[in-house]
A = this chain, B = another copy of it.
Amino acid sequence: MELDFVADLLRRIPADPRLEVPPGDDAAVLRPPAERRTVVTVDMLMEGVDFVLGPDCDPRRVGHKALAVNLSDLAAMAARPEAAVVAVALPRRHGDAIGRGLLDGILALANAHGVTLAGGDTNSWDGPLVISITAIGSAAPGRAWRRDTARPGDLLVVSGACGGSLLGRHLDVTPRCREAVAVAAAFDVHAAIDVSDGLALDLSRMMAASGTGAVLDLAAIPIHPDAVRMAAMAGDATSPLGHALGDGEDFELVLALPADDARRLAVEGPTVAGIPFTVIGEVVAGPGLVARSIDGNLHPLEPRGYVHAFDR
């Protein structure tokens, strides 16, 4: 019965002073923070594409990931998370237990990031699990980070380390919301994107949107230990660097900053934001990505990563 299920969900959502009308009505009514812009993003995850329910991936992890990827988008805008709404298509079989597990994961992450759950739409069907979350954040006017405003001469910086996310981090996503807000307050960030489909691919998107290119220092790319572990697995034909550049689902931040700010961020990042930031290259006028090898040679870098394909 959907009615009981929704009522149970509503009981589990804590009261929040930002809600003038809480979930349970035709729509929720939010009190937006004064003098702030509204930042909105949506991501949909589908069973069999973005996750496979099973012993390694219970509904709670799916709920966590579904909200986390949205919060990562807010982080890439340096927005403060405020609210989220959740729509699900639950498989008819075990739909009730799956829905409760999803909410466990969503609520835990929402509480950790000060996100109020403002509503949802619960459906059941004979198909696989689909979950779509819309996250709403806030930012001061003109202060949200964009991806189309990198400038030649900026240095490129990445948070944390990349590669090998399939070993677990692609589910246990850590959105860099607090880190982004802290960096935005202390550094002059020209442009930002989060690493969802692959460091090189997402960087190439930021460069294309900005009308710029980039030279990447391959020796500087921070390689996650998971990338090293994956490269060492039987049958894996990709180097640790290849994993770091192409795997995606790292949900780290790639930032373009003036050289002085970038170098300062690489030093002060752990103090200001609690995580390391590494200078990995430079924004240049020309289009495309160029890699500088360890021996100093330059060669074009073909961005790889995950792209949805249609049959046209």
Interface residues of A (CB under 8 A from B): 1-3, 5, 20-21, 24-32, 36-44, 46, 48-49, 73-74, 76-77, 79, 83, 85-90, 92-96, 99, 118-128, 130, 132, 134-137, 139, 141-142, 144, 146-148, 192-194, 209, 307-312
Contact = CB atoms under 8 A, between A and B. Distances in A.
Contacts of A27: 39-41, 73-74, 76-77, 79, 135, 137, 144
Given A32-B37, A85-B134, 9 more contacts: A24-B148, A29-B38, A41-B119, A42-B132, A44-B121, A92-B311, A95-B310, A121-B132, A124-B309
Central interface residue in A32, A79, A141, by most chain B CB within 10 Å:
A32
Give me the 8 closest cross-chain CB pairs, A-B, nearest first.
A27-B41, A132-B132, A26-B76, A44-B87, A134-B134, A2-B308, A95-B310, A30-B38
A42 B77 contact: no
A310 B144 contact: no
Contact of A24 (B42, B76, B126, B209): B209
A19 to B, nearest CB: 10
A73 B87 CA distance: 15
Central interface residue in A44, A90, A94, A309, by most chain B CB within 10 Å:
A44
Tell me how many chains of this kind the complex includes.
2
Nearest to A194: B26
Contacts of A87: 42-44, 132, 134
Central interface residue in A83, A142, A144, A193, by most chain B CB within 10 Å:
A144
B41 A85 contact: yes
A25 B144 CA distance: 11
A123 B46 contact: yes
Central interface residue in A77, A87, A142, by most chain B CB within 10 Å:
A87
A46 B139 CA distance: 34
A310 B8 CA distance: 14
A288 to B, nearest CB: 15
11 contacts: A1-B309, A20-B37, A27-B74, A40-B136, A42-B87, A42-B119, A42-B120, A42-B134, A44-B121, A87-B134, A123-B308
B26 A41 contact: yes
Contact of A21 (B49, B127, B146): B146
